[in-house]
Structure 1
Amino acid sequence: MATSIIEKKKYTYEDYLKTPDDVRYELIEGELLMTPSPVPRHQRISRKIEFILEEFVTNNDLGEIFYAPCDVHLDNENVVQPDILFISKERLNIIGEKNIQAAPDLAIEILSESSAYRDLVQKKKLYT
């Protein structure tokens, strides 16, 4: 009996750019992953954190806050969209016209059952 081994395609940043605009994707270790729309509970939590951080960062002239969807381009096989991210004013040069071009100073992920492994293990490894 013949056994076929199907090699998984490794996607690149160029492939990522070709994905439809109406669906959120992340590229992790060359794997293209669809990210579903957040549920209302997630949005409530995100909004509260964003509000508190934005006020603190702005009042203290510390840098900039961004929120998803905002691409963080780490390398040719890794593009992620943290829920909320902070870039210190000393590193504002990593903010490009189309994306953030290095790991942020702070990345916040609001966990759900479906995203916990990706957020706590896979993405954490990419930021360090």
Structure 2
Amino acid sequence: MDKKRKADEVKEEGLTYEDYANLPDDGQRYELVNGTLEMLAPAPSSEHQVISNNLSAVINQSCRHGYFILVAPIDLILSNHEVRQPDLVMIHMERRHIITRRGIEGAPDLVVEILSPSTAMNDKKSKWETYAHFGVKEYWIVDPVHRTIEQHVLHGEKSKYDLYEVYGKEEDTITSPYISCLSIPVKEVFLHLDLLELD
């Protein structure tokens, strides 16, 4: 790959993690999707960051002794041709071997993606399919606009998610069929968003 090539022109196929890891630092963020490099959107919005911080804080309160809770940017290396950049992941301490110097090498117990206008279709289709295929047991999609959390879970040997629950009321509490320490009031996920004056 020509390192002088502009980032938005990089569309080559058949790339591997090594190609991805050796990309020049051009200030952009990428994912490797089935061997093809895809540029991520610009830096996350203020809303996105508030939600990410809220989730990280409340999950750490109840789960940090049993799980590693990691937030973006972090490489989730699912195969030599598939590297994603999830917003938040949880990995049980007993599975800590998948956390390496390179990033996370294997399926986390939970992946959370926070939607933005530029990533919504990717998060709801491409990533949904990828995370299910590689065995991520639970996948949450957080929608800042509609203030909802979709919870998708794998059942049995299927490599396809079932919609387990949709949370959207302030009095709702998010729990997990797989992660017993999770008990998150929806109002905590979207805490302080109403204080932002965003145009």
Give the TM-score normalised by the residue count of structure 2: 0.57
Alpha-carbon shift at residue 120 of structure 1 (Å):
1.6
For 2:71 and 2:85, how far apart are their aligned partners in 1?
8
Which residue number in structure 1 is paired with residue 44 of structure 2? 38
User: In the alignment, does 2:60 pair up with 1:54?
Assistant: yes
Name the aligned partner's letter for residue 23 of structure 1. Q
| Alignment match of 1:84 (pick from 83, 88, 95) | 88
Q: Aligned ranges for residues 1-128 of structure 1 at < 5 Å?
A: 9-21=13-25, 22-35=27-40, 36-58=42-64, 61-128=65-132
1:53-76 deviation digits (Å, cap 9, x = unpaired): 111112xx2110000000010001
Aligned partners of 1:30, 1:90: CA distance in 2, in Å? 30
Q: Give the aligned length.
A: 120
- 1:108 maps to a residue whose letter is V
Richer in strand (by share): 2
Q: Which runs of 5+ in 1 are unaligned?
A: 1-7
Structure 1: distance between partners of 2:21 and 2:125: 24
Residue 24 of structure 1 and its aligned partner are, at CA, apart by 1.2
The whole-number CA distance in structure 2 between the counterparts of 1:45 and 1:87 is 20
The one-letter code of the counterpart of 1:30 is G
Q: Identity over the aligned pairs, expressed in percent?
A: 41
Taking the aligned partners of 1:116 and 1:11, their CA distance within structure 2 comes to: 25
- Give the match's secondary structure for 1:66: strand
Give the Cα separation in 1 of the matches to 2:127 and 2:81.
Answer: 12
Higher helix share: 1
CA distance in 2, matches of 1:20, 1:57: 36
Q: How far is 1:125 from its partner?
A: 1.5
* Separation in structure 1 between the aligned mates of residue 35 and residue 108 of structure 2, nearest angstrom: 20
- The TM-score normalised by the length of structure 1 is 0.86
Question: What's the C-alpha RMSD, in Å, of the aligned pairs?
Answer: 1.6
Aligned partners of 2:13 and 2:37 also within 8 Å: no
- Alpha-carbon distance in 2 for matches of 1:124, 1:105: 14
User: Which structure is higher in RCO with an 8 Å CA cutoff and minimum separation 6?
Assistant: 1
